[in-house]
Amino acid sequence: MEKKVIATTSLAGCFGCHMSFLDIDERLLDLIELVEFNKSPIDDIKRFTKPVDIGIIEGGCANSENVEVLRYFRENCKILVSLGECAIMGGLPAMRNGISIDECLAEAYLNGPTVQLNKEKILPNDEEIPMLLDRVVPCHEVVKIDYFLPGCAPRADLIWDALVAIVTGKEMDLPYEVIKFD
């Protein structure tokens, strides 16, 4: 069987889902028999070098770069999986959704208790810096997502079983404890 190609990314996430992915521990060796990695922070491949079977998305969309990367994944991956609460519902970054961008930036760069160096009171304004979206949105509100694996972070067993199921076409049979939102 030809190896399936996997890509992963972390958008507005904390890399916790990727950490949980690595928590499949020695099963990583089995995984490498089943798949090869393409664009991913795990191997540091920056651009897709071939069509990808499974794209795994951690994090929701909080800025213009997140949206661009997500669309780039959709264009290059046959199957997209939202991994974790942030990808699925915005997660902790979306807690800013009730607060205006002005207020968020002012708190972070002008008024926050840890702000000490910004004497000129500059808000980040370089055009190289991605624009913040007015609110953080889940990935499936930007592109079509095929599968959802909840959890914060999703349990390693869930990630492993889901990947094996997608790669081999076998049905998942998960114990109750494995699918949790926290």
Q: What is the dihedral of CA 51, 138, 94, 23, to 10 degrees?
A: -50
Contact pick of 11, 54, 56, 88 for another protein (by CB under 8 A): 88
144 binds another protein (CB under 8 A): no
Nearest Cα neighbor of 21 from 34, 4, 9, 38 is 9
Shortest Å distance, C-beta 97 to another protein: 4
How many Å apart are CA 6 and CA 38, to the nearest integer?
A: 6
Shortest Å distance, C-beta 48 to another protein: 26
Contact pick of 31, 94, 156, 166 for another protein (by CB under 8 A): 94
The secondary structure of 6-18 as a DSSP string is: EEEEESBS-SHHH
Angle at 48 between CA 81 and CA 92, to 5 degrees: 40
92 binds another protein (CB under 8 A): yes
Contact pick of 149, 156, 159, 166 for another protein (by CB under 8 A): 149
Applying CB under 8 A, the residues found at the interface with another protein are 82, 85, 88-92, 94-95, 97-98, 135, 137-138, 140-141, 148-150, 152, 176-177, 179-182
